[in-house]
């Protein structure tokens, strides 16, 4: 993983503000295979043509009380500008950096020196 960027930060902040309970952002990936992808090659091709390649990262909003249960090996929890962000990866990545830039959430892997 070198970098992933989500450009829906404004919508995320609006949903967090509308929620009756405290929420945070959960980012899971990269996924080897999109479980939502069709097994039918023609249907998969049509969907990809319409919507682009399958999403390999998934961003969801989770209640903050669920964050403790979601932390596992390969997890990275960070507070960024008042936004709690949990990143879960299939393989542990020792050093991650999360940035909020404009309307984007950016996640970078920091290589070992």
**CATH number of the domain that residue 20 is part of:** 2.60.300
Q: What percent of the chain has pLDDT over 90?
A: 0
Domain extent for 38: 3-109
Distances (CA, A) of 3 to 6, 29, 83, 104, 106: 10, 11, 19, 12, 7
Q: What's the rounded Cα separation, in Å, for the pair 43 and 109?
A: 34
In sequence order, the 6+-apart residues with CB closer than 8 A to the CB of 20 are none
Specify the 3-state DSSP secondary structure of 39: coil
Instruction: For residue 87, name the pLDDT band (cuts at 50, 70, 90).
Output: confident
Is pLDDT of 94 > 70? yes
Name the more confident of 23 and 93: 23
Position 34 scores a pLDDT of 57
In our burial notation (b when 16+ CB lie closer than 10 A, e otherwise), range 54-75 reads eeebebeeeeeeebeeeeeeeb
30 cis-preceded (ω within 30 degrees of 0)? yes
Cβ atoms < 10 Å from Cβ of 19 = 11
Predicted pLDDT of residue 97: 79
**What is the Cα–Cα distance from 72 to 52, expressed in whole angstroms?**
31
pLDDT above 70 (res 109): yes
- Count of structural domains, the chain: 1
Stronger pLDDT, 67 or 113, i.e. the higher one:
67
- Mean of the pLDDT values across residues 57-80? 80
Task: Identify which has the larger pLDDT, 13 or 51.
Answer: 13
Considering only residues 105 and 6, tell me which one the structure prediction assigns the higher pLDDT: 105
């Amino acid at each position: 993983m070198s970098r992933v960027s989500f450009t829906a930060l404004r919508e995320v902040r609006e949903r967090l503000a509308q929620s009756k309970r405290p929420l945070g952002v959960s980012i899971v990936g990269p996924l080897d295979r999109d479980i939502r992808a069709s097994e039918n090659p023609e249907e998969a091709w049509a969907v990809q043509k319409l919507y682009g390649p399958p999403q390999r990262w998934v961003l969801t909003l989770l209640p903050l009380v669920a964050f403790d249960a979601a932390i596992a090996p390969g997890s990275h929890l960070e507070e960024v500008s008042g936004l709690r962000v949990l990143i879960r990866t299939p393989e542990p990545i020792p050093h991650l950096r999360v940035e909020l830039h404009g309307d984007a959430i950016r996640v970078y892997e920091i290589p070992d020196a």
